[in-house]
C-alpha cells in the first residue's frame, strides 16, 4: 500500500510520515515543490534509518500514487490544495482530511474556529473532489509536535468520520499500526463538524496548562475500532 501525505513538509504531515514509516509503511511526501518534498523525505530517512521507505515529490504526483492520501494542510490553503490534486487522485483512493478550520486562517486566534459553508473542512474537501474518492476525516486531535517526538509514547484516540465503513477501517488499521494510538468510529462525515473543532479545544487546554500534548481518550469499552468488532 502506498500512503501519500499532502503537506508532508509541515509539522503534522512530517510527524505522520515519521510514525507511519516507522511502522513499516511506504510513505510519499507531497509538497508544492518536488525539491522540498525530496528534501523532507531525506530528513525522514535520516531520522528513521536507511531502511525507511519514504519518498518526496509534488503534491500532484503524490496524490496520483497514493492508495491512501492524507491531507495535512492549514485551512487557509486547503481549498487550493484540493483543487490542485483533484484531477490526480486515483479512482477508489481513500482521502483522509486532517484539516481543522481554525480562525488563524482569517487572522484570528488558534483556539477559535470558523464554520465552513459546507459544515466542515472535510465536507468542503469532498465537494471539491471527484465523486469516486472515498472521503474520511481524522487526526484532528493529534498534534504534529507529538507525532514528531518519536521518543515519547502517544496515548490518544483518533476520531474517524466518514460514510464508507471499509475506508474508515483501512484508515483505522494505519492508526493501529502506531503504538498506543486507537481509532474510534465517530460516525458519518457530518461528525467532522464537531471533531474538527476539538483541535481548538485542545489548543485552549494546552494554553491554560502551558503544555503541548493534551489529547482525548474515549471510555466505555476495552477496545474500539469497528463498531461491530
Q: Which pTM does this prediction carry?
A: 0.95
Give rounded-to-5 percent helix, strand, coil for the chain. 40, 20, 40
Neighbour count for residue 224 (Cβ, 10 Å): 19
Q: What digits encode the pLDDT tens for the residues 43-59? A: 999 999 989 999 999 99
Residue 11 has phi, psi (to 5 degrees) of -60, -55
For 16, the grid coordinates are 505522520
Q: What digits encode the pLDDT tens for the residues 67-116? A: 999 999 999 999 999 999 999 999 999 999 999 999 989 899 999 999 99
Residue 199 · residue 158 · CB < 8 Å = no
CATH numbers and ranges of domains, the chain:
2-209 (3.40.50.720)
Output the CA torsion sign for 149, 101, 110, 183: negative
For 216, the grid coordinates are 482525548
Query: Can you tell me the distance from the alpha carbon of 51 to that of 228, in angstroms, rounded to the nearest whole number?
Result: 37
Residues 6 or more apart from 168 whose CB is under 8 A from it? 136, 160, 161, 162, 183, 185
Query: Can you tell me the distance from the alpha carbon of 229 to that of 220, in angstroms, rounded to the nearest whole number?
Result: 14
The per-residue pLDDT string of the chain (229 residues; one tens digit each, 9 = 90 and over) reads 999 999 999 999 999 999 999 999 999 999 999 999 999 999 999 999 989 999 999 999 999 999 999 999 999 999 999 999 999 999 999 999 999 999 989 899 999 999 999 999 999 999 999 999 999 999 999 999 999 999 988 889 999 999 999 999 999 999 999 999 999 999 999 999 999 999 999 999 999 999 988 999 999 988 889 997 5
Amino acid at each position: 500500500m502506498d500512503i501519500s501525505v499532502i503537506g508532508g513538509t509541515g509539522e503534522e504531515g512530517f510527524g505522520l510520515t515519521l510514525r507511519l514509516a516507522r511502522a513499516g509503511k511506504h510513505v510519499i511526501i507531497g509538497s508544492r515543490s518536488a525539491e522540498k518534498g525530496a528534501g523532507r523525505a531525506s530528513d525522514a530517512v535520516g531520522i528513521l534509518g536507511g531502511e525507511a521507505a519514504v519518498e518526496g515529490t509534488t503534491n500532484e504526483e503524490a496524490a496520483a500514487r497514493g492508495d491512501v492520501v492524507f491531507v495535512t494542510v492549514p485551512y487557509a490553503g486547503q481549498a487550493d490544495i484540493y483543487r490542485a490534486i483533484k484531477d490526480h487522485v486515483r479512482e477508489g483512493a481513500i482521502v483522509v482530511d486532517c484539516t481543522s478550520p481554525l480562525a488563524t486562517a482569517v487572522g484570528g486566534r488558534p483556539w477559535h474556529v470558523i464554520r465552513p459553508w459546507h459544515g466542515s473542512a472535510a465536507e468542503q474537501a469532498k465537494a471539491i473532489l471527484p465523486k469516486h474518492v472515498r472521503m474520511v476525516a481524522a487526526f484532528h486531535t493529534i498534534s504534529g509536535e507529538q507525532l514528531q517526538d518519536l521518543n515519547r509514547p502517544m496515548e490518544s484516540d483518533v476520531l474517524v468520520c466518514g460514510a464508507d465503513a471499509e475506508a474508515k477501517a483501512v484508515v483505522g488499521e494505519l492508526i493501529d499500526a502506531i503504538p498506543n494510538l486507537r481509532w474510534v468510529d465517530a460516525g458519518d462525515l457530518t461528525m467532522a463538524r464537531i471533531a474538527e473543532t476539538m483541535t481548538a479545544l485542545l489548543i485552549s487546554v494546552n494554553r491554560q496548562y502551558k503544555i503541548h500534548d493534551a489529547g482525548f481518550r474515549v471510555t466505555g469499552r476495552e477496545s474500539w475500532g469497528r463498531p461491530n468488532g
